[in-house]
Amino acid sequence: MPEAMATARASDNTGNQATQQVDVAVVGAGFAGLYLLYRLRKAGLKTVALEEAGDVGGTWYWNRYPGARCDIQTIDYSYTFDPDLERVWTWSEKYATQPEILRYLGFVADRYDLRREIRFGTKVTTARWDEAAECWQLTTDNGANVSCRHYIMATGCLSTPKPPEIDGVKDFKGEVYFTGRWPHDEVKLAGKRVAVIGTGSSGIQSIPFFAEQAAQVTVFQRTPNFALPAHNGSAPADRKALLEKDRAGYREQARWSLAGVPYPQQTVVSWQLSDAERRERFERAWAAGDLVHILTQLWADQGVDVDGNALVAELMREKIRASVNDPDTAETLSPHDHPFGAKRPCLDTNYYATYNRPNVTLVNLRQEPIKAITATGIATDKRSFDVDVIVFATGFDAMTGAITAVHPIAGRAGKSLSSVWANGPQTYLGLTVAGFPNLFMITGPGSPSVLSNMVVSIEQHVDWVVDRLSAMREAGFTVMEATETAQAGWARHMSDCAMLTLHRLANTWYTGANVPGKVQGVMPYTGGVGPYRSICSEVVSRGMLGFKLSGPNVAEQCNDGEVVRLQPDVRLVLNMLADMNLPPIETFGAAGARLFVNEFNKSRPLGRPVGEVVDGTLPGSDGPLPYRLYRPATPGPHPIVVYFHGGGWVLGDEQSDDPFCRDMCRRSGMIFVSVGYRHAPEHRFPTAAEDGYAATRWIAEHAVELGGRSGPVLVAGWSAGGNIAAVTCQLARERGGPQIAGQLLVCPVVDCTFDRPSYTENATGYFLTRSLMYWFWDIYCSPADRTDPRVSPLRGKLEGLPPAFLVTCEFDPLRDEGIAYGDALAKAGVPVEQLQARGHFHSSFTMVDMVITGVSGREKMADALRRFAGQAGASENARHARTAPRPEVDAAE
């Protein structure tokens, strides 16, 4: 039953009425507000929308500067909730103009009769959570105040223009305009001298129009931006055909894509392509004139890897040089300070060519900052420019501005949202805030919003919120509030996601860097639209995880917790593996499991190039053993790392950790020799241990022949290979050599006890299962032998061992024994560093180029190896090998 006591009224200026009582109050009548009204009405909830503007449109109502268009293709930038609406509306261009988008939103409002629930010309002046009545009390500047159970901010992300921070604006005697608040009446520029401050999307779209009209245009640029020609016209035939062939499928693909536009995920990385192939892809993207295409379809590492990104940036700069006649101007227009895509790139029509016009001048504010605005124009610290008009295209207080700066919002105990967000916006899912019951944000900070096709994100948010309100009502709940735990978890997940992409490497409105004094941090969710959608669904399927629900006649419900504790890419990999529905590996038998692993490994990204890869054999404890040697491209001789692959003493070979060995060889600048030790069940305990020791001794004795540095070697291994590396160190100490300078143990098996908590907590669901570990142990080692230090090195003597770097992963059955080994080594006086990787699983660090968040861990491993080898500091080689930003991996002291 709707709780509203009074009918929502249309715009009312009498200012004297009783409080308007509704179930839901919405602020804003743009894309989000209109769809909310549609859905809320259908759900039977009494609603009012409060809109400051005189009509619908939101950002498209205000941003009406010349040249304003959308920069997502209009066939994608449209509502999809009603197939009939899609049939009756046809866009005239690939990128619709602002007037056409505004007409579309007016058409939608009329078609669904939405205006009757909108109070235009009405601003909310305060919003307060009323603890006693359990509803929001709103005051407005026009007409009745509002009392509502639920309060939804559909205020948009880019709707509060940034005030000019330049001294003297008030002294200027000419005309002043803001692109974000462009007048509704025609602005006449003919014959005038126009100054434009700002070269973001708004400046880049409008400057060519100003140049055509005005006598002189002077552009004041602080930071150049990348722009791609829109090639506007009719909608491209290929995209249209895709849509028309299967409209529902096309829309569904968009909903699960990364950016809200149905493009496939690229899998080929930049270094797998030749220069010619990269250029061909780039030219195709340039010709397509589509930001989502050029941001996602060139190569898989363009958005996550500084080197992969630099290739795109240089091709973009080449285009700028080709478009602008004056080389100095071209250079000034060329961005060098941020990765391509880290700052929102722009879509332009004739932008660069405009600088070839005689009436356009570019002023580089990096060389001559603005000193002040004067009565007659703009003074830099070198010159004065007399102008008639100043246009501020200086952007917005993005994402939080429209929520906190527009009106005070007071939640529980009167706490203001501004104070709660004093150190940056805190939200759960970007939709809700702990301490602010029944308050929702559409495309709020913490949601994919501005990094996606906004309409797709808006529809998802609105559907999720309205579905929750309906479900609450059915269950008798009246109040819904995020918990602090869930919110803190979301903040952690947000920051994990932010480490995956390059957005944090640019000073932009995405990070709040454009507003002086604003706390900085990546505000939108960078994990992608599809993953975000699946997380929102997971919150529901796990019993409204992270929300407290209460109502007058029902028991309170709170299923507290964090929805994502895995690193974002680990979550994707595990979901992908779960979708494959593989039978447990142990059910294949040893031979079948080996075949399976070989096949599985074929689908992973190839390892990166190293200087040389050599296959050979070495004498083992009982016959020859194969090895594969990875040599860095840098001049040698290099220290040698003897490496033991993973596979539970049963699976794998000297090639099976190829991507990891290549990566570590590049990062450390060391030779990696991966040893093909013998496996169980053919060769049971202690064969692997003895082979490992014999191989290490032989390699140490033949270091120079192998092209390595003479002197002590290092050992490393992952999983069962970590076991062999640890055991080798103990055997070498006992048997008088070889000398080992350090040991790198990645998720090693070190003990035969299975009752540590990690074995139970991570028994299933993280690829390496408890039952698989039991199987490995049974095949390799009979119970009577298991306490032997050659298989359970934790039970051996630990004094006098080489320094160790020990890596454990949170979601790994082997976690606790690894930590125990590190602690025991330290207790025995062995220098040891532990990296306890939060959110990672057993294979995180060996899934090179799949688990990008593993990069920083491998950097730390390489640093440790260099320290062990007496090569302090990052080598030049390692710096070059840096393949991605440095994600934070929690490391224990």
Residue numbers at the binding site for ligand NAP (CB under 6 A): 69-71, 158, 165-166, 179, 197-203, 205, 222-223, 344, 347, 365, 393-396, 450, 509, 514
The residue (of 59 and 438) whose beta carbon lies closer to ligand NAP is 59
Quick check: helix, strand or coil at residue 651?
coil
Tokens of 475: 């269950």
Angle at 29 between CA 94 and CA 127, to 5 degrees: 145
Q: How far is the CB of 237 from ligand NAP (least distance, A)?
A: 23
Q: 450, 157 in Cβ contact below 8 A?
A: yes
Residue 346 CB, nearest approach to ligand NAP (Å): 7
- Closest to 834 in 3D by CA, of 801, 811, 857: 857
CB of 241 to ligand NAP, least distance (A): 25
Residue 70 Cβ vs ligand NAP, minimum distance, rounded to whole Å: 5
- The answer to whether the beta carbons of residues 434 and 412 sit under 8 Å apart is no
- Is 373 or 865 the residue whose CB approaches ligand NAP more closely? 373
- Rounded Cα distance, 857 and 862, in Å: 9
Cβ-based nearer residue to ligand NAP, 347 or 837: 347
SS3 813: coil
Q: And the tokens for 624?
A: 């020859």
Nearest to ligand NAP of 394, 427 (CB atom): 394
Nearer to ligand NAP, 63 or 674 (CB): 63
Least distance from C-beta 833 to ligand NAP, angstroms?
A: 40
How many Cα atoms within 13 Å fall on the side-chain side of residue 261? 25
Judge contact between 380 and 363, C-beta under 8 A: yes
CA 87 to chain centre: 35
CB of 202 to ligand NAP, least distance (A): 3
φ, ψ at 805 (rounded to 5°): -120, 120
Say whether the peptide bond before residue 448 is cis (omega within 30 degrees of 0).
no
Helix (H) / strand (E) element for 455: namely helix 454-475
| Closest distance of CB 94 from ligand NAP, Å | 13
Smallest separation, CB 658 to ligand NAP (Å): 42
Residue nearest to ligand NAP (CB): 200
DSSP alpha helices (H): ranges in 301-446? 306-323, 327-332, 351-354, 417-420
3-state SS class at 168: coil
Min dist. Cβ of residue 283 to ligand NAP (A): 23
331-70-255 Cα angle (round to 5) = 115
CB of 211 to ligand NAP, least distance (A): 17
Q: Which is nearer to ligand NAP, 301 or 397 (CB)?
A: 397
C-beta closer to ligand NAP: residue 179 or 297: 179
Of the candidates 426, 455, 435, which has an alpha carbon nearest to the alpha carbon of residue 443?
455
Between 200 and 686, CB nearer to ligand NAP:
200
Residue 426 Cβ, how far from ligand NAP at the closest point, in Å?
23
> Could you give the 3-state DSSP secondary structure of residue 154?
coil
Beta partners for residue 373, in sequence order? 378
In the complex with ligand NAP, the residue whose CB is nearer, 150 or 338, is 338
Q: How far is CA 3 from CA 7, 140, 441, 477, 557, in A?
A: 11, 21, 22, 13, 22
Candidates 444, 385, 387, 435; CA nearest to 409 is 435
User: Considering beta carbons, is residue 79 or 396 the nearer one to ligand NAP?
Assistant: 396
Taking the complex as a whole, how short is the minimal distance between the CB of residue 513 and ligand NAP, in angstroms?
7
CA separation for the pair 575, 554 (Å, rounded): 35
Strand ranges (DSSP E) for 467-551?
479-482, 547-551
- Kindly state the tokens that stand for 206: 């409008």
Q: Name residues whose C-beta falls within 8 Å of residue 823's C-beta, 6 or more positions apart in sequence.
A: none
Q: Indicate the residue among 344 and 518 with the shorter CB distance to ligand NAP.
A: 344
